[in-house]
């Protein structure tokens, strides 16, 4: 897991390509804050996308920093010099802006070209941290950050910032093209400048015997050896001259006394040379001992470099673990938000139902009230039709009595068919008559004298 070379998003893209699923052009940036998956809009901005993809294939953005950070606005990178003054396009010169009516700076996570003016696009780019409508028709938008990697992009604006530059800048460790819409792109071969090594003139070594503790003795021995060597300068040397063998002499056979003297001199010179060699060996050994700590420091420095690389890899994968933990927390928060939304909708539906029930109850109450009101209106109209108290009202009651009398006389004149039926009819008529009289008295509110009159007549 630790030394995996491809991320999860790249594996998903490769699987989808094998299955025949078409995806939009995309590039993966491996940064110090985690992976950032970028979706490119090659149809809307072909020049900018071609430039960005080819630079990614060439490894142009590897180990570059995000040199400019404006919190809540943008984060800028893509400059190999790291100060915002460098960077070149693949075209050898700045290329023109590409504006599209559907591409606007309306949200965070957009990828656009950085420039110093109109039609001045190179290699630098920036991510938007929020909606930036003031940049419309000034910078070319050619992509967006896709998926949950937008949370990694938002980490780029975190940290200490001084004069729009971060104190500890984040890096692009590596770029990987997941889907290339331009199959004709061929990465350019970078020229490697070979520095010519100048041949240094070898200076003849000068022996400084003063540095040695036995310098005076060595200097005397050196003078004697040079005198002996000068004898053979300009002469061809044979085995007779090189070997110290008395039988192989280069000269004619001298006298016995001369041979003995020469042998003594040769033995003396050999002893002197041996002593000089021993002294030089001792000096070399002392120098080697003094050089050992330097070698140890060089090995320690190389070990430090290896340790730094291991630490960098550990930091990279630690960031990945932290990102996974943050994603889990984000998922939990999303689930909580969804549950709160569901509860809110349920409560809202309950309130709507309660309001509907209250409205229906009010409608029922209104219906009963309307019926009551209608009956009151009918009663009022009938009451208004009756005449007011006075002479007119008395005449009205008397007319009613006359009608009642006529009804009684007509009933008496009829022949009784049977005694039982007649008695029943009389009872019914009496009951009806009394009921009618009672109603008349109640409605008309007659005077006491009128009541007596009615009873007497009856």
Interval 23-61: pLDDT, tens: 789 999 999 999 999 999 999 999 999 999 999 999 999
Give the pLDDT score at 239.
Answer: 61
Q: Of the ranges 154-168, 301-315, 367-381, 433-447, which one carries the lowest mean pLDDT score?
A: 433-447
Query: How many helices, marked H, and strands, marked E, lie in the chain?
Result: 9, 11
**Which comes out higher in pLDDT, residue 117 or 312?**
117
CA nearest to 144, candidates 27, 40, 50:
40
pTM of the model: 0.41
Sequence-ordered alpha helix ranges (H) in 205-255? 215-230, 239-242
Cα 216–Cα 221–Cα 227 angle in degrees, nearest 5: 130
Give the pLDDT score at 5.
Answer: 38
Is there a contact between 457 and 405 (Cβ–Cβ < 8 Å)?
A: yes
Band (pLDDT 50/70/90 cuts) for residue 1 is very low
CA 423 to centroid of chain Cα atoms: 107
Band (pLDDT 50/70/90 cuts) for residue 224 is confident
Query: Which residues are catalytic, by number?
Result: 68, 73, 76, 115, 126, 135, 139
Cα dihedral sign for 395, 396, 399, 400?
negative
Band (pLDDT 50/70/90 cuts) for residue 182 is very high
What kind of fold does domain 8-179 have according to CATH?
Answer: Cyclophilin (2.40.100)
**Which comes out higher in pLDDT, residue 458 or 362?**
362
**Which comes out higher in pLDDT, residue 283 or 97?**
97
Residues 6+ apart with CB under 8 A from 174: 30, 59, 62
Give the Cβ contact number of residue 166 at 10 Å. 19
Give the pLDDT score at 256.
Answer: 54
| 3-class secondary-structure state, position 100 | coil
Express each pLDDT in 195-223 by its tens digit: 555 555 555 555 555 555 555 666 677 77
DSSP H or E segment with residue 137: none
Alpha-carbon distances of 20 from 13, 16, 17, rounded to whole Å:
11, 6, 5
**Which comes out higher in pLDDT, residue 211 or 440?**
440
CA nearest to 123, candidates 149, 163, 100, 92:
92
pLDDT, averaged across the chain: 76
């Amino acid at each position: 897991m630790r030394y995996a070379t491809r991320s999860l998003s790249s594996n998903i893209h490769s699987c989808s390509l094998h299955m025949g699923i078409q995806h939009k052009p995309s590039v993966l940036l491996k940064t110090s804050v985690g992976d950032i998956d970028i979706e490119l809009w090659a149809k809307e901005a072909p020049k900018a996308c071609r430039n960005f993809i080819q630079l990614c294939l060439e490894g142009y953005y590897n180990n570059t920093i995000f040199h400019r950070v404006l919190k809540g606005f943008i984060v800028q990178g893509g400059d190999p010099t790291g100060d915002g003054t460098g960077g070149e396009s693949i075209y050898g010169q700045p290329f023109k802006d590409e504006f599209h009516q559907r591409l606007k700076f309306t949200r965070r996570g957009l990828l656009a070209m950085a420039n110093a003016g109109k039609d001045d696009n190179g290699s630098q780019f920036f991510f938007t941290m929020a909606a930036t409508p003031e940049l419309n028709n000034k910078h070319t938008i050619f992509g967006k950050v896709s998926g949950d990697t937008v949370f990694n992009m938002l980490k780029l604006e975190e940290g200490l910032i001084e004069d729009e530059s971060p104190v500890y800048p984040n890096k692009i460790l590596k770029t990987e093209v997941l889907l290339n819409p331009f199959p004709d792109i061929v990465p350019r071969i970078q020229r490697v400048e070979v520095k010519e090594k100048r041949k240094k003139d070898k200076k003849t070594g000068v022996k400084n015997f003063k540095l040695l503790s036995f310098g005076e003795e060595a200097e005397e021995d050196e003078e004697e050896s040079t005198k002996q060597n000068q004898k053979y300068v300009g002469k061809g040397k044979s085995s007779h001259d090189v070997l110290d063998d008395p039988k192989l002499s280069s000269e004619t056979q001298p006298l016995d006394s001369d041979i003995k003297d020469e042998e003594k001199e040769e033995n003396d010179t050999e002893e002197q040379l041996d002593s000089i060699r021993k002294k030089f060996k001792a000096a070399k050994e002392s120098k080697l001992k003094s050089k050992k700590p330097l070698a140890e420091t060089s090995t320690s420095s190389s070990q430090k470099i290896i340790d730094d690389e291991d630490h960098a890899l550990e930091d990279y994968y630690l960031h990945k673990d932290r990102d996974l933990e943050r994603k889990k927390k984000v998922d939990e928060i999303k689930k909580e938000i969804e549950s709160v939304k569901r509860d809110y909708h349920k409560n809202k539906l309950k309130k709507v139902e309660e309001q509907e029930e209250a409205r229906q109850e009010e409608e029922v109450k209104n219906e009963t009230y309307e019926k009551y009101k209608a009956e009151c209106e009918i009663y009022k109209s009938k009451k208004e039709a009756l005449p007011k108290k006075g002479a007119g009202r008395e005449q009205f009651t008397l007319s009613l009595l006359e009608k009642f009398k006529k009804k009684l006389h007509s009933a008496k004149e009829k022949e009784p068919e049977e005694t039982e039926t007649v008695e029943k009819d009389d009872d019914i008529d009496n009951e009806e008559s009394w009921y009618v009289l009672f109603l008349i008295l109640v409605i008309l509110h007659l005077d006491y004298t009128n009541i007596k009159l009615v009873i007497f007549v009856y």
